[in-house]
Amino acid sequence: MSARLSPDLTSPHARSVLVADAPAQLCAALLARSHDRHDAACAVSWLESLSAAPDLLYAHDCAAALFDRGVRPPAPTLALRRYRRLRSGVSDPQRQPGCVVVTLLPTRDAAQAQALADAAFAALQDGAHALRGLIASHLHLSDDGRGLLDYAEWSSAEAQRRALRREPERLPLAAHPGARVRHYRPRALAWSGASTPAARVPA
């Protein structure tokens, strides 16, 4: 059985997370250091961009020390954004995603973000059938209430694009004209404090 490359987003440690765009070299360096931390319950995930956009780091908030100045050598400054997970919907917890689609949507405040999140989940459940290829959707609210993040796990990038073309009403966040939608491949997963190397896929 292959090592899992995607973190458990329904765990208590995933209630608050840190997200940052980062170049591949920095992602690799940070995950290589993660085994030196002291809390093995904290996941750090490296998502490799499938476009010209930067890669993405997604980490449990308890792994924040990994980005601190105390890490040697010091990590370059990252624009870390903190989010709180609002709700999750998982169709198959054992299936590994081939693609992670991250949708960012600016919001006026936390109330609007919550309303959009509720509407997004209602839309997913509204059809007569499940969206083919969708494994899970995890909605997050930024600390300042001004951003909604959907971390959606799919079987492939093409499965998500096909669903968006055929049934955009079922994916209102990704279909929103103000949204930023990016596709990633799970590249590596490390557990802060773990003594074993990070799981990763070949370059």
Q: What is the pLDDT of residues 100-121, one digit of tens each?
A: 999 999 999 999 999 999 999 9
pLDDT computed for residue 3 by the predictor: 61
pLDDT computed for residue 31 by the predictor: 84
Task: Name residue, tokens 């096909």.
Answer: 162
pLDDT computed for residue 160 by the predictor: 97
Question: How is residue 24 written in tokens?
Answer: 């591949």
174 within domain boundaries: yes
Question: How is residue 92 written in tokens?
Answer: 């198959």
CA distances 195 to 35, 36, 42, 192, Å, are 6, 8, 13, 9
CATH number at residue 169: 3.30.70.100
pLDDT computed for residue 23 by the predictor: 93
pLDDT computed for residue 7 by the predictor: 79
9 within domain boundaries: no
2 within domain boundaries: no
With the C-alpha atoms ordered 101, 50, 65, 18, is the resulting torsion angle positive or negative? negative
Query: How many domains does the chain divide into?
Result: 1
pLDDT computed for residue 63 by the predictor: 74
- Range of the structural domain that residue 151 is part of: 15-200
Cβ pair 4, 100 in contact under 8 A: no
121 within domain boundaries: yes
Mean pLDDT by 10 residues, the chain (203 residues): 69 85 90 60 89 94 67 63 92 88 96 94 83 94 95 97 96 97 94 49 48
7 within domain boundaries: no
179 within domain boundaries: yes
pLDDT computed for residue 64 by the predictor: 75
- Rounded to 5, what percent of the chain is helix, strand, coil? 30, 35, 35
pLDDT computed for residue 128 by the predictor: 65
64 within domain boundaries: yes
Task: Name residue, tokens 């799919």.
Answer: 154
6 within domain boundaries: no
Cβ pair 150, 102 in contact under 8 A: yes
- Output the DSSP codes for 91-107: S-TTSPPSEEEEEEEE-
Please measure the distance between the N-terminal and C-terminal CA atoms of the chain and give it in whole angstroms: 19
Q: Could you give the angle at the alpha carbon of 151 between the alpha carbons of 172 and 12, nearest 5°? A: 125
Amino acid at 202: P
